Amino acid sequence: MNKLMEQPTNNLTNERINRDLLAPVLTTSWRFYVVVAISGAIVAWALFAWGWQLYHGIGVSGKRRPEFWSLYITNFVFWIGISHAGTLISAILRVTGAEWRRPVTRCSEAITVFALMIGAMFPIIHLGRAWLFYWLIPYPNERLLWPNYRSPLMWDFFAINTYLTGSLIYLYLPLIPDLALVRDKARGWRRGLYSVLSLGWRGTQTQWQRLEKAVSIMAVIIIPVAVSVHTIVSWDFAMTLNPMWNSTIFGPYFVVGAIFSGIAALILAMSVLRRVLDLEDYIQPKHFNYLALLLLTMSLLWFYFTFAEYLTVWYANEPAEMAVFWSKVWGPYSPFFYTMVCCCFVIPVPILAFKKLRRIPLITLASALICVGMWLERFLIIVPTLAAPRLPFNWRGYSTTWVELSITAGTFAYFVLLYALFTKFFPIVAVWEFKEGLRHEAKARARSEAVPVAAD
Amino acid sequence: MPHWGMVIDLDKCTGCEACVVACRTENNIPIAGEEQTAKGRQINWIHIERYWEGQYPNIKARFLPVLCQHCDAAPCEGVCPVYATHHTPEGLSAMIYNRCVGTRFCANNCPYTVRFFNFFQPAWDAPLDRALNPEVSVRPNGVMEKCTFCVQRIEQAKLNAKMENRELKDGEVKPACVQACPTRAMYFGDLDNPESEVSRKAESGRAFHLLGELGTKPSVIYLKEADE
Amino acid sequence: MRERICVIFDEPEEARRAVQRLLEAGVNPADVTVMSSEPHLEAGEFIPETRRTLIGYFSLAGGVLGAIAGLSLVYFTSHAYPIVTGGMPLVPPLTTGIVMYEMAALGAIFFALARMLWEARLPRWRAVREDYTAELADGGVLISIKSGGEVGQEILREAGGREVPS
């Protein structure tokens, strides 16, 4: 391990941890207002664009026949993919008892919740009659009509509903003791707010035991749910008869892509947080190192799946599939295709594979590229297939509009806004988990010092 | 109960597009305008596709009228989350406009791409706005639509027969396109009745289904051009 | 004498020894509450728990109930208004399985949460005012004993804790 990886955790006292980790909650810097103002303005513009679309019709968003879906569904898949950062990573690390997880669990769980909320908005934004979205919800109604459970969109509804509920609870449970901590440290209106939110937590022995038990059970449940969510999102496409959509590989392909983009988003969030909130002593180079290795694995897996997908299509050489294949590889979508391959594989892999290059600025760069690449991947899955249906009379190119681009930009701003607000109201590093980790570390060190190791 | 079906004899089709015009008039299909049509937002429940066969100088123009195939195993129907499209006992793939929320999933899963979306509020230039068919509902913005086999004409014919206390006769129901075809290239009737004209035509050696290899069980049967 | 006594220990090990002594002196374990702002459970419990947790079983039951709820939802509502689509059966086992799976997970999550809150006696906002001190946020372990703790009071003070107003 190089020098960067050594951890300066020894000088972290209880008092300092409380001060550092609660500072963003208890004090507000000018940067917070700048971020909120800028992202809020973009969100307001996107809301205007959405209003424009509601008033005039879906046509203003660039959709046409045969591209009935385009950037909204791209964003939907992308954001649901990002949401796998969190809960899944944090759950896997928790279940496997990876001690280094502690400073990153909270910020990854928050990514999950917000990305999922934003992702779940898109099926509504893209509806022709968005104001009737509640017709998809199964409830006894005056129409005497229940939804069609045979539709993959209904599976989406159930899966996202379960995942959002689960990840909200999974975010909230470990947050309770920290809310109690803020309650004890805060004055004024904050004290009242956190008293209510912390449910009267006192940290009794029973409470701690039950909490840790519940969190570990949630972690076990949330992993299969997260896998099912992106599998079902992929089935929106795989269930159809369309060329290059009707593929059995789509489930795992999408899950791998989701975790891939999710880790990238997590690394981006971490590198911003540690700079902006002065968390360099908590979110350390070693965390970037571990996550970068995980990202490298996912990058290789992503390439493997992409290769398998394109190889099987090319070799089978079916005309309808080949039309889509060539439009991506050599046709009008090829610039996007090769950008995607560069962003997801060619550039990140050397950065992440070589120890000399695996440093925070470059890891962050690779993560940013991967986010771009994975967005393009979703776009390349959706639009080229729709642009080249089975009957060639219907082929048609696609171009987007300001409405669609504004709403897309708006959701990125919305994510930043929600995340900034979250760090304002909740400690972004799990305080109690971090302290617990320090004690485990100290104990492990004491043990290893007591017993001479052969390697010494 | 009948199973409605259509036979289109490609040998007789001249590509005159009379069916397209008849369909627009009968079914209150909105006018998209030049700009939106260029962007692919026009609606044509039935449209004629032209393709070339052979090499110069032995080149032939071929025409293929494409409309909703009313598949018995329709890929579009299952994917609708709100039951806006479903299969009737008479073999029609029906659209219930009121239920549609506009997910457009059905359109994506139609291998024939014969589903159309109202990307904007429908509009007609004067005086066409005064020539709407009162038997057919006008579809609002944000709703899917497609060929219905002129279900209003089917229902009217059934009602007439009932009033006169008789069975429905073969060939009595004529969708607008069938009625308008100057070369009589289109036939409509009950595929379940072996005596009907469509059933007899469907047994022809020239009969085929569009994209039949997908197994969607279409109710539209094409008769290919005879060899010369 | 006061009804309740709260003593804070800076070191968890001191607190552990103090609890040991309290129990040896015959103080009812139900009257003793040990609190901390971080879990000190890696060395074992301060007071032996008499009631084991049932969160796991509840979660399992919630999963089963959720799956049944999913199946019932699909089966009964599909039959209440049968609509044929795409030549598919009304309740295809494969697609119904997906709904049951998600509902099972939802049931398991809800039951685990509900049972956890029940066992941890949350929410209880009043307890914080009556039997707690905000000082705990800075670390240490708080031991509180309920009425009749004359002996306990003595022991806790001797053990080196710092008495705090509750």
B87 forms bridges with which residues in the sheet? B93
8-state DSSP, A104? H
Rounded to two decimals, what is the model's pTM? Answer: 0.94
DSSP-assigned states of every residue in B165-224 = TSPPPTT----HHHHH-TT--EEEEETT-TTSHHHHHHTSTTEE-TTGGG----SEEEEP
| Residue C50 contacts B where some CB pair is shorter than 8 Å | no
CA distances B29 to A268, A413, B146, Å, are 50, 40, 10
Question: B76 contacts in A (CB within 8 Å)?
Answer: none
Model pLDDT for residues C68-126, shown as the tens digit of each residue: 999 999 999 999 999 999 889 999 999 999 999 999 999 999 999 999 999 999 899 88
8-state DSSP, A273? H
> Would you write out chain A's pLDDT as a tens digit for each of its 456 residues?
344 444 445 567 888 888 889 988 888 889 999 999 999 999 999 999 999 999 999 999 999 999 999 999 999 999 999 999 887 788 999 999 888 999 999 999 999 999 999 999 999 999 999 999 999 999 999 888 999 999 999 999 999 999 999 999 999 999 999 999 999 988 888 899 999 999 999 999 999 999 999 999 999 999 999 999 999 999 999 999 999 999 999 999 999 999 999 999 999 999 999 999 989 999 999 999 999 999 999 999 999 999 999 999 999 999 999 999 999 999 999 999 999 999 999 999 999 999 999 999 999 999 999 999 999 999 999 999 999 999 999 999 999 999 999 999 999 999 999 999 999 999 999 999 999 888 888 888 888 877 655 554
Of the pLDDT bands very low, low, confident and very high (cuts 50, 70, 90), residue C4 is confident
Residue in this structure with the two tokens 């909650």, named with its chain if needed: A25
CB contact under 8 A, C86 and B217: no
CB contact under 8 A, C83 and B75: no
Å between A376 CA and nearest CA of chain C? 29
Q: Which residues of A395-424 are buried (b: 16+ CB within 10 A; e: fewer)?
A: ebebeebebbebbbebbbbbbbbbbbebbe
Q: What local confidence, expressed as pLDDT, does residue C147 receive?
A: 64
CB contact under 8 A, A211 and C116: yes
Q: Which two tokens stand for residue A77?
A: 């898949």
Instruction: Provide the chain C residues 102-131 that lie in CB contact (below 8 A) with chain A.
Output: 102-103, 105-106, 108-110, 112-113, 115-117, 119-128, 131
Region of B168 (left: φ > 0; alpha: ψ -120 to 50; beta: rest) is: beta
Closest CA to C143 of C125, C134, C151, C131: C131
CB contact under 8 A, A204 and C74: no
Count of Cβ atoms closer than 10 Å to residue B217 Cβ: 15
CA distance A54 to A126: 10
In contact, B112 and A138? CB cutoff 8 Å: no
Q: Which residue, among A55, A56, A68, A240, would best test binding to B if mutated, counting the most B CBs under 10 Å from its CB?
A: A68
CB contact under 8 A, B73 and C84: no
Q: Which residue, among B70, B77, B80, B82, would best test binding to C if mutated, counting the most C CBs under 10 Å from its CB?
A: B77
Sign of CA dihedral B103, B108, B113, B114: negative
Does residue B224 surpass a pLDDT of 50?
Answer: yes
Closest CA to A87 of A7, A168, A149: A168
Residue C80 burial (10 A CB sphere; 0-12, 13-18, 19+) = exposed
Of the pLDDT bands very low, low, confident and very high (cuts 50, 70, 90), residue B227 is low
The bridge status of strand B4-9 relative to strand B220-223 is: parallel
* Residue among C53, C106, C132 whose CB faces A209 most closely: C53
∠ CA A383-A385-A390, rounded to 5° = 140
8-state DSSP, A343? I
